[in-house]
């Protein structure tokens, strides 16, 4: 896939501007070693302060551990550790000379599916941990389903605790075989997930930052190298222009680009009014640009003072975007109160909020069989297919085409709480 260039040696391509930041969603079942792996990455990339490390070393000694428990760097509250599950989504930041990283440390337990969906919704990579001793469990299937459902562009399965199976190639191969056999895709609305696999020991550091001599049968890169060298240019292939208008600043339309490339002189259409005009200038806090692309936040000055307001969508002429009054969607339900047909909620799509009624509940996703089961309601953490009818149109792409304009949230109108996250089918 080609990257767009501004045509000079000093200009930056979209890949240059975005590749330094990689968003990684980590998921693993209880005791798969996710906290230890994240702690290892932070430690090996020198992102840990001396007093933090001293505290971890002291606590490890007091507990009688024969090693420094790097999981203590990320485990958070003691109550969380005692339950054996991570309650919320925590974001960890680190960097190397080649790239900056944001790790969304998402829960693996079934009870916290909503948290994993939240943490993984903007990820470039799904990093899924599997215990080499236990193989692919139901929670591993759930992690794969969510990564596939959210169309995360890249997936990496870290087969952890290889030290506890003697670094046997057969144990690694069994996980690769079973994970690769998961029947993803089809009528469930899932995307195709084609992961890479790395055998690691997060506790001892094998294949995390440095290649391990204890896996001579593995010829691939260690984890950090894989993340540093991951090519994302193909994910930035230009598509239809999408700019949800967030603010109006001195008659200019400001927002974060969700698709395509915009340049001065481009002919655009403002939805829902359907007004056609041209872009007079593309501006940022640093000045005017010759072109802009996702995920840059920009301000567009439009010719002839074209009227625009918050909640509008600016698209390229010819980049058709239908007005949806009703549509099918995949919804992850995040509320203790069940979702039933007839429910009326607020639907927030990009910068536009409308009223939505649940016309039909078509079914609930069975993570075990990856099939769809009949359902009278969706409970907390359920994922299902619904049909929604709106009181005003939204302008949305199918989620598989655009993860920003194809997604929305459902809000409880009484409490204002987020009740669900959805994807346009």
CA–CA distance from 341 to each of 150, 338, 364, 375, 387 (Å)? Answer: 24, 10, 13, 10, 9
> How far is it, in rounded angstroms, from Cα 134 to Cα 391?
49
pLDDT of 74? 65
DSSP labels, 196-239:
EEEE-BTTTTBTTTB--TT-TT--S--HHHHHHH---GGGG---
Answer whether residue 149 shows pLDDT above 50.
yes
pLDDT of 241? 95
Architecture field, domain 18-234 = 3-Layer(aba) Sandwich (3.40)
> How far is it, in rounded angstroms, from Cα 328 to Cα 325?
11
Alpha helices in 221-380 (DSSP H): 223-229
- For residue 82, what pLDDT band results from cuts at 50, 70 and 90? very low
Lowest mean pLDDT segment, chosen from 160-174, 258-272, 363-377: 363-377
Superfamily of domain 323-424: Translation factors (2.40.30.10)
Highest averaged pLDDT of the listed ranges 6-20, 103-117, 145-159, 185-199: 145-159
pLDDT of 4? 27
Answer whether residue 349 shows pLDDT above 80.
yes
> How far is it, in rounded angstroms, from Cα 221 to Cα 155?
15
Do the beta carbons of residue 404 and residue 315 sit within 8 Å? Answer: no
The larger pLDDT score, comparing residue 108 to residue 120, is at 120
pLDDT of 5? 28
Write the CATH number of the domain with boundaries 242-316: 2.40.30.10
Q: Where are the domains of the chain?
A: 18-234, 242-316, 323-424
Q: How far is CA 417 from the centre of its chain?
A: 21
Please choose, from the candidates 75, 145, 81, 78, the residue with its C-alpha nearest in 3D space to the C-alpha of residue 110. Answer: 145
pLDDT of 13? 40
Strands of 291-404, DSSP E: 297-302, 313-316, 323-333, 344-349, 352-366, 371-373, 383-395
Answer whether residue 396 shows pLDDT above 60.
yes
pLDDT of 287? 93
Q: Are 242-316 and 323-424 equal in CATH topology?
A: yes
pTM: 0.80
The per-residue pLDDT for range 5-47, each reduced to its tens digit, is 223 333 334 334 444 789 998 887 777 888 888 888 888 887 7
């Amino acid at each position: 896939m080609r990257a767009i260039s501004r045509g000079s040696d000093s200009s930056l391509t979209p890949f240059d501007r975005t590749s330094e930041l990689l968003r990684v969603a980590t998921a693993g079942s209880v005791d798969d070693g996710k906290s230890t792996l994240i702690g290892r990455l932070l430690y090996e990339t020198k992102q840990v302060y001396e007093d933090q490390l001293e505290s971890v070393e002291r606590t490890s000694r007091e507990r009688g551990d024969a090693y420094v428990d790097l999981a203590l760097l990320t485990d958070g509250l003691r109550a969380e550790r005692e339950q054996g599950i991570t309650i919320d989504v925590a974001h960890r930041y680190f960097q190397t000379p080649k790239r900056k990283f944001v790790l969304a440390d998402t829960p693996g337990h079934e009870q916290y599916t909503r948290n994993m969906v939240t943490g993984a919704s903007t990820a470039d990579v799904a990093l899924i941990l599997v215990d080499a001793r236990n193989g692919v469990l139901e929670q591993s299937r759930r992690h794969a389903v969510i990564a596939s459902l959210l169309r995360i562009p890249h997936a990496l399965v870290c087969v952890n605790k290889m030290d506890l199976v003697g670094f046997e190639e057969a144990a690694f191969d069994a996980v690769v075989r079973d994970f690769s056999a998961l029947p993803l895709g089809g009528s469930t609305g899932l995307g195709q997930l084609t992961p890479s696999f790395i055998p690691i020991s997060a506790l001892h550091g094998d294949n995390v930052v440095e290649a391990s001599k204890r896996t001579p049968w593995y010829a691939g890169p260690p984890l950090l190298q894989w993340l540093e060298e991951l090519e994302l240019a193909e994910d930035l292939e230009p598509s239809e222009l999408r700019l949800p208008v967030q603010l109006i600043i001195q008659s200019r339309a400001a927002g974060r680009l969700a698709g395509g490339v915009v340049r001065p002189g481009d002919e655009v259409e403002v939805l829902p009014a359907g007004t056609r005009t041209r872009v007079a200038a593309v501006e940022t806090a640093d000045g005017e640009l010759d072109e802009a692309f996702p995920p840059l936040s920009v301000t567009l000055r439009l010719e002839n003072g074209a009227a625009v307001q918050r909640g509008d969508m600016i698209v390229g002429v010819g980049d058709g975007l239908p007005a949806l009054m009703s549509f099918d969607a995949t919804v992850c339900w995040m509320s203790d109160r069940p979702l039933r047909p007839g429910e009326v909620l607020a639907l927030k799509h990009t910068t536009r909020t409308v009223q939505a009624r649940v016309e039909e509940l078509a079914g609930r996703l069975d993570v075990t069989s990856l099939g769809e089961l009949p359902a009278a309601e969706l409970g907390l953490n359920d994922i299902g297919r619904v049909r929604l009818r709106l009181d005003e149109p939204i302008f949305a792409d199918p989620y598989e085409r655009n993860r920003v304009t194809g997604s929305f949230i459902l809000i409880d109108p009484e409490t204002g709480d987020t009740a669900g996250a959805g994807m346009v089918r």
